[in-house]
Structure 1
Amino acid sequence: MKKQMLLSAIALAVSVQVGAAAPEKAAEIVKPQAVQSQAALWASHVMTRYHYKATPLDDAMSEKIFDRYFKSLDGEKLFFVQADVDQFAPMRTKMDDAIMSENLTVPFAIYNLYQQRFNERIGYARELLKTKFDFSLDESYQIDREKAEWPKTDAEVKDLWRKRVKNDWLRLKLAGKDDKAIRETLDKRYENYMSRSRKLNNEDVFQIFMNAYAMSIEPHTNYLGPRAAENFDIAMRLSLEGIGAQLQQRDDYTVVREVVPGSPAALSGKLKVGDRIVGVAQGESGSFTDVVGWRIDDVVQQIRGAKDSTVRLQILPADAGPDGKLAQLSLVRKKISMEEQSAKKSILEVRDGTAKRRVGVISLPTFYLDFEARRKGDKDYKSATRDVARLLAELKKEKVDNVLIDLRNNGGGSLTEAVELTGLFIDKGPVVQQRNAQGKVEVESDTNAGLAWDGPVGVLINRSSASASEIFAAAIQDYGRGLVIGEPSFGKGTVQQLVSLDRYSQADKPRYGELKMTVAQFFRINGGTTQLRGVVPDINLPSMSDPETFGESSYDNALPWVAIKPAIYIPAGELKEIVPLLDKKHEARVAKDKDFQYLAEDIALVKKQRKDNTISLNEAARRKERDQQEARAKLREARLLNLVASPDDPVLIPDAKEALNKAIAAKPANANAKAARQIAAVKGALRTDDGLQGDERSLSAELDAEKAAKAAKDVLLNEAVHILADEVGLLKTDTRLASRVLPYAADVGK
Structure 2
Amino acid sequence: MKLNRIVTVSLLALALALPLGFMAHAEGEPIPGAPTAEQTTTSRLVYGLLSDSRYAYRPRPLDATMSSEIFDHYLESLDGAKLFFTAQDIARFRAHEPGMGDSVRSGDLEPAYTIFAMYKQRVADRVAYARALLEQDIFDFSGNDRWEYDREEAPWAADAAALDALWKQSVRNDWLRLKLAGKKPDEIRKTLDRRYLNMGNSVAALDQEDAFQSFLNAYTSTVDPHTDYMNPRTAKLFTQSMSLSLEGIGAQLQKQDDVVVIREVIAGGPAAMSGKFKAGDRIVGVGQGASGAMEDVVGWRLDDVVEKIKGPKDTQVRLDVIPGEATLDSKPVRIVLTRARIKLEEQAAKSEIISLPAPASGGADKRIGVIKLPAFYQDFEGRRSRHGDYTSATRDVARLLQQFRADGVDGVVLDLRNNGGGSLNEAIELTGLFIDKGPVVQVRESGGRVSVEGDRTPGVSWDGPLAVLINRGSASASEIFAGAIQDYGRGLVIGETSFGKGTVQNIVPLDRWPANEGDKYGHVKLTIAQFFLPGGSSTQNRGVVPDIAFPVTVDAGEFGESTYDNALEWRQIAAVPHQRYGDFAQLLPKLEALHAERVAGDKEFQWWSADVAEFRAEREKKYVSLNEAERRAERDRDEAKRKRRQEQRKALGLALDPLAESSTDDGLQAGERNVAEDAAREKAAEKRPDPLLRESAAILADAVRLLNNDRQLSAQVLPESTVPGRWAQ
Q: Is 1:174 equivalent to 2:172 in the alignment? A: no
TM-aligned CA deviation for residue 28 of structure 1: 3.8
C-alpha deviations, 1:144-178, integer Å up to 9, x for none?
11111000111100000000001101111111111
Aligned to 2:354: 348
Q: Is contact 1:27–1:115 with CA below 8 Å preserved after alignment?
A: no
**Aligned equivalents of 1:746, 1:148: Cα separation in 2:** 56
**Aligned equivalents of 1:326, 1:26: Cα separation in 2:** 25
Aligned pair partner of 2:679 in 703, 707, 711: 703
- Aligned pairs for 1:523-672 (under 5 A) are 523-644=532-653, 650=654
- Aligned pairs for 1:86-165 (under 5 A) are 86-133=91-138, 134-165=140-171
Q: Is contact 2:500–2:560 with CA below 8 Å preserved after alignment?
A: yes
Secondary structure at the aligned position of 2:661 is classed as: helix
Aligned pair partner of 2:694 in 718, 724, 735: 718
What residue identity is the alignment partner of 2:678?
Answer: E
Structure 2, unaligned runs of 5 or more: 1-25
Q: Is 1:359 equivalent to 2:368 in the alignment? A: yes
Q: Is 1:681 equivalent to 2:659 in the alignment? A: yes
Write out the 4+ residue segments of structure 1 that deviate beyond 6 Å after TM superposition: none
TM-aligned CA deviation for residue 243 of structure 1: 1.2
C-alpha deviations, 1:697-726, integer Å up to 9, x for none?
112321232133212101111111111111
**Aligned equivalents of 2:466, 2:441: Cα separation in 1:** 19
**Aligned equivalents of 2:609, 2:399: Cα separation in 1:** 37
**Aligned equivalents of 2:121, 2:480: Cα separation in 1:** 45
Q: Judging changes above 3 Å, is the alpha-carbon distance between structure 1 residues 748 and 481 closer, same or farther for their aligned structure 2 residues? A: closer
- Aligned pairs for 1:429-444 (under 5 A) are 429-444=438-453
- Aligned pairs for 1:446-465 (under 5 A) are 446-465=455-474
Secondary structure at the aligned position of 2:399 is classed as: helix
Relative contact order, higher structure (CA 8 A, sep 6+): 2
Secondary structure at the aligned position of 1:682 is classed as: coil
**Aligned equivalents of 1:268, 1:627: Cα separation in 2:** 46
What residue identity is the alignment partner of 1:704?
Answer: A
Paired residues in the alignment total: 693
Secondary structure at the aligned position of 2:614 is classed as: helix
Q: Judging changes above 3 Å, is the alpha-carbon distance between structure 1 residues 748 and 97 closer, same or farther for their aligned structure 2 residues? A: closer
What residue identity is the alignment partner of 1:698?
Answer: N
Q: Is 1:423 equivalent to 2:432 in the alignment? A: yes
**Aligned equivalents of 1:483, 1:603: Cα separation in 2:** 24
TM-aligned CA deviation for residue 520 of structure 1: 0.3
What residue identity is the alignment partner of 2:51?
Answer: T
**Aligned equivalents of 1:234, 1:472: Cα separation in 2:** 23
TM-aligned CA deviation for residue 179 of structure 1: 0.9
TM-aligned CA deviation for residue 504 of structure 1: 2.7
Q: Is 1:383 equivalent to 2:392 in the alignment? A: yes
Q: Judging changes above 3 Å, is the alpha-carbon distance between structure 1 residues 715 and 748 closer, same or farther for their aligned structure 2 residues? A: closer
What residue identity is the alignment partner of 2:30?
Answer: I
**Aligned equivalents of 2:268, 2:567: Cα separation in 1:** 44
Q: Is 1:217 equivalent to 2:223 in the alignment? A: yes
Q: Is contact 1:311–1:332 with CA below 8 Å preserved after alignment?
A: yes
C-alpha deviations, 1:285-308, integer Å up to 9, x for none?
111111111111111111111121
TM-aligned CA deviation for residue 27 of structure 1: 6.1
Aligned to 1:45: 48
**Aligned equivalents of 2:432, 2:408: Cα separation in 1:** 21
Larger CA deviation: 555-564 vs 172-181: 172-181
**Aligned equivalents of 1:136, 1:332: Cα separation in 2:** 59
Q: Is contact 1:305–1:333 with CA below 8 Å preserved after alignment?
A: yes
C-alpha deviations, 1:80-103, integer Å up to 9, x for none?
001111112121111112222321
TM-aligned CA deviation for residue 495 of structure 1: 0.4
C-alpha deviations, 1:78-137, integer Å up to 9, x for none?
000011111121211111122223211110010000000000001100000001222122
Secondary structure at the aligned position of 2:439 is classed as: strand
TM-aligned CA deviation for residue 211 of structure 1: 0.5
Aligned to 1:288: 294
Q: Judging changes above 3 Å, is the alpha-carbon distance between structure 1 residues 506 and 445 closer, same or farther for their aligned structure 2 residues? A: closer
Larger CA deviation: 595-604 vs 260-269: 595-604
Aligned to 2:31: 30
Q: Is contact 2:287–2:295 with CA below 8 Å preserved after alignment?
A: yes
Q: Is contact 1:58–1:96 with CA below 8 Å preserved after alignment?
A: yes
Query: What TM-score results when the alignment is normalised by the length of structure 1?
Result: 0.90
Q: Judging changes above 3 Å, is the alpha-carbon distance between structure 1 residues 145 and 642 closer, same or farther for their aligned structure 2 residues? A: same
Aligned pair partner of 1:692 in 664, 668, 677: 668
What residue identity is the alignment partner of 1:707?
Answer: K
What residue identity is the alignment partner of 2:42?
Answer: A
Secondary structure at the aligned position of 1:92 is classed as: helix
**Aligned equivalents of 1:345, 1:710: Cα separation in 2:** 13
Between the two proteins, what is the percent identity of the paired residues? 50
Q: Is contact 1:40–1:99 with CA below 8 Å preserved after alignment?
A: yes
**Aligned equivalents of 1:158, 1:58: Cα separation in 2:** 37
Secondary structure at the aligned position of 1:522 is classed as: strand
Q: Is contact 1:245–1:256 with CA below 8 Å preserved after alignment?
A: yes
What residue identity is the alignment partner of 2:626?
Answer: L
Larger CA deviation: 632-641 vs 530-539: 632-641
Q: Is contact 1:641–1:679 with CA below 8 Å preserved after alignment?
A: no
**Aligned equivalents of 1:695, 1:391: Cα separation in 2:** 36
- Aligned pairs for 1:243-254 (under 5 A) are 243-254=249-260
Aligned to 2:17: none
Q: Is 1:273 equivalent to 2:274 in the alignment? A: no
**Aligned equivalents of 1:718, 1:508: Cα separation in 2:** 52
Q: Is contact 1:523–1:564 with CA below 8 Å preserved after alignment?
A: yes
Secondary structure at the aligned position of 1:93 is classed as: helix
**Aligned equivalents of 2:618, 2:105: Cα separation in 1:** 45
TM-aligned CA deviation for residue 512 of structure 1: 0.9
Q: Judging changes above 3 Å, is the alpha-carbon distance between structure 1 residues 27 and 396 closer, same or farther for their aligned structure 2 residues? A: closer
What residue identity is the alignment partner of 1:318?
Answer: G
Aligned to 2:193: 187
What residue identity is the alignment partner of 2:480?
Answer: I
Structure 1, unaligned runs of 5 or more: 1-24, 645-649, 651-674
- Aligned pairs for 1:433-512 (under 5 A) are 433-505=442-514, 507-512=516-521
Q: Is 1:734 equivalent to 2:714 in the alignment? A: no
What residue identity is the alignment partner of 1:702?
Answer: D
Larger CA deviation: 461-470 vs 48-57: 48-57
Q: Is contact 2:264–2:679 with CA below 8 Å preserved after alignment?
A: no
Secondary structure at the aligned position of 2:357 is classed as: strand
Q: Is contact 1:735–1:748 with CA below 8 Å preserved after alignment?
A: no
Q: Is 1:75 equivalent to 2:80 in the alignment? A: yes
What residue identity is the alignment partner of 2:589?
Answer: P
Q: Is contact 2:28–2:201 with CA below 8 Å preserved after alignment?
A: no
Aligned to 1:297: 303
Q: Judging changes above 3 Å, is the alpha-carbon distance between structure 1 residues 413 and 394 closer, same or farther for their aligned structure 2 residues? A: same
Q: Is contact 1:357–1:728 with CA below 8 Å preserved after alignment?
A: no
TM-aligned CA deviation for residue 452 of structure 1: 0.6
Q: Is contact 2:657–2:689 with CA below 8 Å preserved after alignment?
A: no
Query: What TM-score results when the alignment is normalised by the length of structure 2?
Result: 0.93
Q: Is contact 1:637–1:683 with CA below 8 Å preserved after alignment?
A: no
Q: Is contact 2:434–2:462 with CA below 8 Å preserved after alignment?
A: yes
